[in-house]
């Protein structure tokens, strides 16, 4: 079985849905994971806020807008075929439910409609062109455990019940993103979670490979929004891809590499707008020397705790981390000196309470509006030839924290967000356009 995942931009219009459907080959068993048409999840989340804040008129305007968008898409997909009637009926009944929502509605329930309606349209479209398929409802098998993480065992058992091993070249369709929590309530895998659905399913059924279809030709070696002439990377190993996804490469959900790595299932990133382009293959490939890519993640806060008492005191870090543990806040980057420790977290609404607790351990300074820049590549942190071009531009980058050696595959710089763009460009110049690559290919 092959897994194919189409993101929202690849399903943004009837024409894009048609193009995506034609990318699914008929010569193997395929399971297609679908996001909501682009913009729908955002609009549903705006509607939720409008309902919550008593702006019911604005909410119903927005509801009508997406209702119309789905109806128009159905007209364009099915024209006069029998499926038009079925699709319009289904859309209509979903919107009767959506219109009945009010300020007590759970946001996760509201958000689920984007994927639910989009998957039905896709499935009907394939039927309408003679491609028989089975629509499996993700809410029937995608479930979370007590920790709110996907329950791999249960997912694997449940999804297998929907797959008929006797069928050859069959096509299955399911929704990305949506799932149920341990109490059976509708939940989701966080924004952008359809990638994660695809790799979870891939691991659950030991798929041959997983292709993530998106609107860019793979993972780039720097952020194309801020740096010109970035290049798609053709090969990455799982560790490199996981670091890049976590530290800012927007193209992949941060957790999505883990299930594929656990079961060694290759993940291919491809561009629906340029299907011939090679894309990026993420697999257990051989290690290539040098920095493969640079990525940045915004919305970071640095918390610096300084304590005279820390000097030689054992157990200090344990107490610091128990505060973050108590608030269930993940920590990204840490640097320490003899008397202080700096820690980064993603912007957190509990920050005042966290600081209050930390102040019991020492003086606390909060530095906001920071970004993390990561340089990623296999074993880079122990390769002097890699470090030279990176360190040569550090003084111009003005970092607040640097972390090297935590992972062999990642060198991390934390800096003020307003210095991020110039830092990305400086690093690009120094690493990818300098003699760095020549050096790497000529040992000594
Ligand atoms: N529709 C969801 C979102 O916009 C999930 C996804 O697209 O992956 O976040
Ligand atoms: Mg996405």
To test the ligand 1 pocket, which listed residue (43, 46, 193) has its Cβ within 8 A of the most ligand atoms?
Answer: 193
Ligand 1 in contact with 192 (CB < 6 A)?
A: yes
For ligand 1, is residue 193 a contact (CB within 6 Å)?
Answer: yes
Binding site membership of 12 for ligand 1 (Cβ less than 6 Å): no
Q: How far apart are CA 257 and CA 243, in angstroms?
A: 9
**Per-chain residues with Cβ under 5 A from ion ligand 2:** 7, 192
Residue nearest to atom 8 of ligand 1 (CA): 192
Evaluate: CB of 176 within 6 angstroms of ligand 1. yes
- The verdict on the CB of residue 310 being under 6 Å from ligand 1 is no
Q: What distance in Å separates the CA atoms of residue 82 and residue 91, rounded to the nearest whole number?
A: 15
Tell how far the Cα of 192 is from the centroid of ligand 1, in angstroms: 4
Q: Other CB atoms closer than 10 Å to residue 345's CB: what's the count?
A: 20
- Determine whether the shortest distance from the Cβ of 194 to ligand 1 is under 6 A: yes
End-to-end CA distance of the chain: give it in Å, rounded: 47
Helix pair angle (14-22, 107-128), 10° resolution: 60
| Contacts of residue 168, Cβ cutoff 8 Å, sequence gap at least 6 | 29
Q: Which structure tokens are listed for 187?
A: 């939940």
- Rounded distance, CA 75 to CA 73, Å? 6
Residues in the chain, pLDDT under 50: 435, 438, 441-444
The pLDDT value given to residue 310: 64
Q: What is the pLDDT of residue 48?
A: 96
What is the token pair recorded at 247? 């530290």
If one residue of 10, 176, 250 were mutated to test the ligand 1 pocket, choosing by the most ligand atoms within 8 A of its CB, it would be: 176
pLDDT value of residue 317: 87
- Cβ(8) – ligand 1 distance below 6 Å: yes
List of residues 6+ apart from 99 with CB closer than 8 A:
60, 63
292, 240 contact by CB (below 8 A): yes
The predicted structure's pLDDT at residue 443 = 43
Is the distance from CB of 342 to CB of 370 less than 8 angstroms? Answer: no
- The Cα–Cα gap between 389 and 291 comes to 10
pTM score above 0.95 = no
- Which pLDDT belongs to residue 438? 47
State residue 416 phi and psi, 5-degree precision. -65, 140
Closest by CA position to 158, among listed 139, 172, 134: 139
Domains of the chain: 2-157+165-215 (3.40.1160.10), 293-441 (3.30.2130.10)
Nearest to 103 by CA among 53, 40, 45, 62: 53
pLDDT for residue 312: 60
Tens of pLDDT, residue by residue over 161-202, are 999 989 999 999 999 999 999 999 999 999 999 999 999 999
């Amino acid at each position: 079985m092959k897994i194919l995942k189409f993101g929202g931009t690849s399903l943004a219009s009837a024409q894009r849905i048609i193009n995506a459907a034609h990318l699914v080959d008929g010569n193997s068993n395929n399971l297609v994971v679908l996001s909501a048409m682009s913009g729908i999840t955002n609009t549903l989340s705006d509607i939720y806020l409008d309902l919550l804040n008593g702006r019911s008129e604005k909410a119903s305007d927005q509801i009508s807008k997406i209702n119309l968008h789905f109806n128009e898409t159905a007209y364009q997909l099915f024209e006069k075929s029998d499926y038009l009637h079925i699709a319009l009926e289904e859309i209509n009944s979903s919107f009767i439910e959506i219109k009945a929502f009010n300020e007590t509605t759970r946001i996760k329930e509201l958000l689920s409609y984007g994927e639910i309606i989009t998957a039905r349209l896709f499935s009907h479209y394939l039927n309408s062109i003679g491609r028989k398929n089975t629509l499996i409802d993700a809410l029937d098998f995608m479930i979370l455990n007590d920790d709110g993480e996907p329950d791999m065992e249960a997912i694997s058992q449940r999804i297998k019940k929907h797959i008929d091993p006797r069928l050859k070249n069959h096509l299955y369709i399911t929704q990305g993103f949506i799932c149920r929590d341990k109490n059976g309530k509708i939940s989701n895998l966080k924004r952008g979670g359809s990638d994660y659905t695809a790799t979870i399913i891939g691991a659950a059924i030991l798929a041959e490979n997983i292709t993530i279809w998106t609107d860019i030709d793979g993972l780039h070696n720097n952020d194309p929004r801020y740096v010109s002439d970035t290049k798609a990377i053709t090969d990455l190993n799982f560790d490199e891809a996981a670091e890049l996804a976590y530290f800012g490469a927007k193209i992949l959900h941060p957790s999505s590499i883990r299930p594929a790595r656990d079961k060694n299932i290759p993940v291919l990133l491809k561009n629906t707008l340029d299907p011939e382009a090679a894309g990026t293959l993420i697999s257990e490939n051989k290690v290539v020397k040098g920095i493969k890519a640079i990525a940045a993640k915004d919305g970071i806060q640095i918390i610096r705790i300084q304590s005279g008492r820390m000097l030689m005191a054992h157990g200090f870090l344990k107490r610091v981390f128990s505060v973050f543990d108590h608030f269930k806040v993940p920590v990204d980057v840490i640097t320490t000196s003899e008397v202080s420790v700096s820690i980064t977290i993603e912007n957190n609404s509990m920050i005042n309470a966290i600081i209050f607790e930390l102040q019991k351990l020492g003086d606390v300074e909060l530095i906001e509006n920071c970004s993390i820049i990561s340089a990623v590549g296999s074993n880079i942190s122990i390769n002097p030839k890699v470090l030279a071009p990176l360190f040569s531009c550090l003084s111009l980058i003005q970092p607040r924290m640097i972390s090297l050696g935590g992972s062999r595959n990642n060198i991390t710089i934390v800096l003020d967000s307003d210095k991020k763009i110039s830092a990305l460009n400086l690093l690009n110049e120094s690493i990818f356009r300098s003699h760095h690559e020549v050096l790497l290919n000529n040992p000594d």
